[in-house]
A and B are shown apart, each in its own frame.
Chain A
Amino acid sequence: MRNEKELIRKILKGEKELFSLFIREYENQIYSLCVSIVKNREEAIDLVQDTFYLAFKNLSSFKGNSKFSTWLYRIAYNLSISRVRRKNNFLSLDGVYEDGKELDIEDETSDIWFSIDEEEIKMMIEEGMKKLKPWERAIIELRDIKNLNYDEIAEVLGIPMGTVKSRLNRARNHLRKIIEREFGTKGNKINHIDRDEDKKEL
């Protein structure tokens, strides 16, 4: 969005209705982040509303050091995570997976990836995403769907950039393992390694 700073200046001067331009521009993006974290559409809409309202109330504190969208994402992320924490009785959402162990990536590659088409994989991913931790869904959403860079993600999540990379990889691998565990058979390797098309790609 062009002239965001100018727009903010005008809003702060009293032209409050101009804030609707920000809402129109970013509400879909904020919604998709919120819904990926809370997994509930109605709650996500409430969170979008709260995000914009909070952003408006604190607009004067936005210094313009980052993109306005990044600042909005940060508000939305914090609100969504707080909502999930409240629902989960303030349990920690970090680090540990459902079975209580850190994820251990298996060495073998499931044949599921070679035996089904992309559309099916997309459906599996949708299902698998629901089983991820909220922060894992958020980090995948921010990086792999919204294409935010590592700096921006670090700012949204409030963590160092190095941590962003490691968490991102853990989240992706966790999702992959969930899909393999839920939908695939393990250990049945199919020999695709000599396919011509694979070689061409390289």
Chain B
Amino acid sequence: MKIKKNFKERIYEYINNELGKEERLEFERLIKENPELRRYYYATKKFYTSLRYRKEEKIPYSVEYRVLSKIMGERKKRLSLSFGFALTIIIIALMFLPFPANNIKEKVSVPVSYKNHKFIPSSYVSLKHVKEIGITVYVKDERIEEKSGKLSIPKNEFTPLYETLKDKGEVEINYIKGSDEEQDIITVSIDYKNYPSLSGNRMFGFYLPYIIMGLLLISPIFFFVKRRA
């Protein structure tokens, strides 16, 4: 039985020419001498020959296009993601950037008793589009030690002031919060956040970040439309 079991394994090796010379001779001797093994050999050979010469099934259609589209699509996706990321960073940076031409910083020293000091800025023309005013008050004590307090005027409070500005071209500081201590002089720094007039290049500059942001927000629509197509 053991010999026969080995014999069964050796049949395939014999057919495939995988046996050594001596093993081959021994195998041939075995099938010559033993009719049962010979019969088994021929049966196996017929089976194995048919098995080996089976037709290999061919792919009905090539996957080349599908695979390459996927590969290239991935590259495009990666590129668009990188581009989108870079664009987002640029937009965020743009949004934090001030408009350099539109900042006006003026300083004036005002006696503390002046509650209605009038200050005429040098470039009041551009104040037409003022949206917010921040006033920083620096208080100096006798020891020449600087203390500071901060005051900003909300937009709703600013509206009457804006109207005044529009008409008179003056900034009226009608509310100054100073120190409780008696002071002779306080230093007032007025920081106008001014926005440009909306015309020409300036208008484009003003709206550009919003346009880019809008395009970015609607860009997935183009992506899905393309995918569906």
A interface residue numbers (CB < 8 A to B): 16-17, 19-20, 23-24, 27-29, 31-32, 35-36, 41, 44-45, 48-49, 52-53, 56, 105, 107, 109-110, 113-114, 118, 121-122, 125-126, 140, 144-146, 165, 168-169, 172-173, 175-176, 179, 189, 192-193, 198, 202
Contact = CB atoms under 8 A, between A and B. Distances in A.
Contacts of A17: 68, 72
Given A109-B43, A113-B46, A144 B64 contact: no
A27 to B, nearest CB: 5
A103 B205 CA distance: 81
A3 B164 CA distance: 82
Interface of B: 4-5, 8-9, 12, 28, 31-32, 35-36, 38-40, 42-44, 46-54, 56-64, 66-68, 70-72, 75
Given A144-B51, A176-B47, A202-B28, A32 B66 contact: no
A140 B72 CA distance: 36
Given A36-B57, A202-B32, 18 more contacts: A20-B68, A24-B62, A28-B56, A31-B58, A32-B56, A45-B60, A49-B63, A49-B67, A107-B4, A109-B36, A109-B39, A110-B43, A113-B47, A118-B50, A125-B50, A145-B52, A172-B48, A202-B28
Contacts of A24: 62, 64
Interface of B: prevailing SS: helix
Contact of A144 (B35, B52, B67): B52
Given A31-B59, A113-B43, A169-B9, A118 B49 contact: yes
28 contacts: A16-B68, A20-B68, A24-B62, A24-B64, A27-B64, A28-B59, A31-B57, A31-B58, A31-B59, A32-B57, A44-B59, A45-B60, A45-B63, A53-B71, A105-B5, A107-B4, A110-B43, A114-B42, A121-B46, A122-B53, A125-B50, A125-B51, A144-B51, A169-B12, A172-B48, A173-B8, A179-B47, A198-B38
B8 to A, nearest CB: 7
Contacts of A45: 59-61, 63
Contact of B63 (A23, A126, A189, A198): A23
Contacts of A56: 67, 71
Given A16-B75, A31-B58, A109-B43, A122 B50 contact: yes
A101 to B, nearest CB: 17
A114 B9 CA distance: 21
A16 B71 contact: yes
Contacts of A49: 63, 66-67, 70
Contacts of A192: 39, 42
| Chain A CB within 10 A, most for which of B31, B52, B56, B58 | B56
Contact of B62 (A23, A35, A168, A176): A23
A64 to B, nearest CB: 21
B214 to A, nearest CB: 34
A23 B59 CA distance: 12
A159 to B, nearest CB: 17
Q: Which 3 A-B pairs have the closest CB atoms?
A: A113-B43, A31-B59, A121-B50
Contacts of A122: 50, 53-54
Contacts of B28: 202
A35 B55 CA distance: 13
Contacts of A107: 4
Contacts of B75: 16
A10 to B, nearest CB: 14
A179 B47 CA distance: 10
A107 B43 CA distance: 13
A52 B72 CA distance: 13
Nearest to B52: A144
B31 A202 contact: yes
B60 A41 contact: yes
Contacts of A41: 60
| Chain A CB within 10 A, most for which of B53, B57, B71 | B57
A5 to B, nearest CB: 20
